[in-house]
A = this chain, B = another copy of it.
Amino acid sequence: MTRTEPAGTPLGDDFHLYDTTLRDGAQREGISYSVADKLAVARLLDELGVGFIEGGWPGALPKDTEFFAKAAAGELILKHAVLVAFGSTRKAGTTAAQDGQVRALLDAQAPVVTLVAKSDRRHIERALRVDVPEACAMVADTVSFLVGEGRRVFLDAEHFFDGYAYDSDTSLRVLDAAMTAGADLVVLCDTNGGQLPLGLAETVRTVSERTGFRLGIHCQDDTSCAVANSIAAVQAGATHVQCTANGYGERAGNADLFAVAGNLVTKLDMPVLPAGNAAELTRVSHALAEIANIAPDAHHAYVGGSAFAHKAGLHASAIKVDPLLYNHIDPALVGNDMRVLVTEMAGRASLELKGRELGVDLAGRPEALTSAVNKVKRLEAGGWSFEAADASLELLLRQEIEGPAEQPFTLESYRVVLDHHAGGEVVSEATVKVHVGGERVIATAEGNGPVHALDAALRKALTPHLSWLDRVELADYKVRILAGHPGTDAVTRVLIESSDGEREWTTVGVHGNIVEASWLALCDALVHKSLRI
């Protein structure tokens, strides 16, 4: 095994963008990667172009052992990244060569090993229950053994910042033990996540000056500063930064790979990804959220669906003058789009921009635009909201330009019955009467609740006539009760997100009756889909 350096990244070995989604990210509550998931995550991170991928803790976790075995067997071919095995230094009172956990790190066959070691005297004495000389010997012994076996070794100095503030001498001795034994670099870890950027940068600078060691940084987000702390550490001299996809991690999470990379590339002009690959940040972030089975955060910096969305009328009119006056970067740099939200706060300018985004050209149709603005305003005053319902807005705008869309079916009537029986059982049943494909169809179905029953009955009635309906799923359903103005009744607003496996679209319905509001959103969803058959 030879030493391997990240080949595909522009800064080569001078700077490490190091991902630990598969190890530290997997600590997040609710994440449980299968081995296949782990391989898929690694491939996406490699496509993006990170320098190092920490794959897990072989020997400690069976799935991680299997992941490294599959990688060694050729199931994971990396173009840019180098694979890293994570583990601990040897136990007290033995040798590295005899320590099973250390041997498992070798068996994993990854070219790099990252070792974690305690660097806070309180943790050494109270959790590890050894003295400082033995703690340093555990580090030195394990590092030199692995280096002797041809591995490149990085040391994660756990609880470094808290330890350094408490007893800097001990913390520096741990770093020194690793570097003297042949480690490539030492990673200062804010394990409890309590640091703030100015103080952290000062510590990184001081440690760099006192030791001359190559330094890395690993931040947790407990002060909501993990990204800022990581960037501040780089500005203070760290040349290796550990992150996780979407900030996944224990407690408040880790430093988010996408915001860190976005900041390094666009703010500090550091080409930490292969040329052009920053434009993959948004796609890769969303794909990794899918694999983790966590809804992407729309408000995620750089890559969120709302990261470049503008709502305030104050801004929207000026955005037409020059988009860059109101965006901190060109969204295309990170593969994102500028969206314009349509709300009661905005007017003609934003609706025209929005139409362009939806493929409806209102620029040459001032009368249609006026009519659409008035319609949107009237509807929004009645509780409708199109900012999250692009599909309903598109239908509304098309109607202004093209007239009413052809309906795939028409409703005659529906009835929903909810029974709470004397025995306590609750049953929902719906019957629809619709006209579709020249026929009158009546269908009845049960559901968990009134809307579910209605959706089931409608599908039962339509699917024999509309084969594409099979692929359309109700992906998400949101309800908001809007308080009425004095003298009026409250209304219910329903947002329905639909999916056909390739595309997702959102529609809105508003009515005093929640079932009718849901019905309206459901119909819009089907009409919108039918326009794309």
Contacts from A to B (Cβ < 8 Å)? 27-30, 32, 34-37, 61, 88, 116, 120, 122-123, 126-127, 159, 192-194, 196-198, 201, 221-225, 227-229, 231-232, 235, 247, 250-253, 256, 259, 262-263, 267-268, 293, 298-302, 304, 306-312, 314-315, 317-318, 321-322, 325-329, 341, 344-345, 385, 387-388, 411-422, 426, 428, 433, 448-452, 476-483, 489-490, 492, 511-516, 519
Q: How far is the CA of A512 from the CA of B122 in the complex (A)?
A: 47
- Neighbouring B residues of A300 by C-beta, 8 Å: 252
In angstroms, Cα B510 to Cα A426, docked, is 13
Asked whether, in the complex, the Cβ of B480 is within 8 Å of the Cβ of A29, the reply is: no
Collect the chain B residues with CB atoms within 8 Å of residue A479's CB: 479-481, 492, 514
Contact present for A309 and B29 (CB under 8 Å)? yes
CB distance from A18 to the nearest CB of B (A): 18
Instruction: Given A250-B310, A252-B304, verify A420-B426 contact (CB < 8 Å).
Output: no
Residue of B nearest to A247 (CB): B299
Please state the number of chain copies in the assembly.
2
B223 and A227 form a contact (CB under 8 A): yes
Inter-chain contact B449/A492, CB cutoff 8 Å: yes
Known: A192-B327, A197-B198, A514-B450. A417 touches B420 (CB 8 A): no
Q: Are A413 and B418 neighbours in the complex by a CB distance under 8 Å?
A: no
Question: Which residues of chain B have C-beta atoms less than 8 A from A341's C-beta?
Answer: 29
A413 CB contacts on chain B under 8 angstroms? 419-422
8 Å CB contact of A482 from B34, B329, B452 = B34
A414 neighbours in B (Cβ, 8 Å)? 418-420
CB atoms of B483 and A481 under 8 A apart: no
Given contacts A480-B479, A489-B448, A512-B448, contact A127 B263 (CB under 8 A): no
The distance from the CB of A244 to the nearest CB of chain B, in whole angstroms, is: 12
- Rounded to whole angstroms, the CA-CA distance of A298 and B250 in the bound complex is 11
A381 to chain B, nearest CB (A): 9
Selected from B198, B268, B388, the residue in CB contact (under 8 A) with A235 is: B198
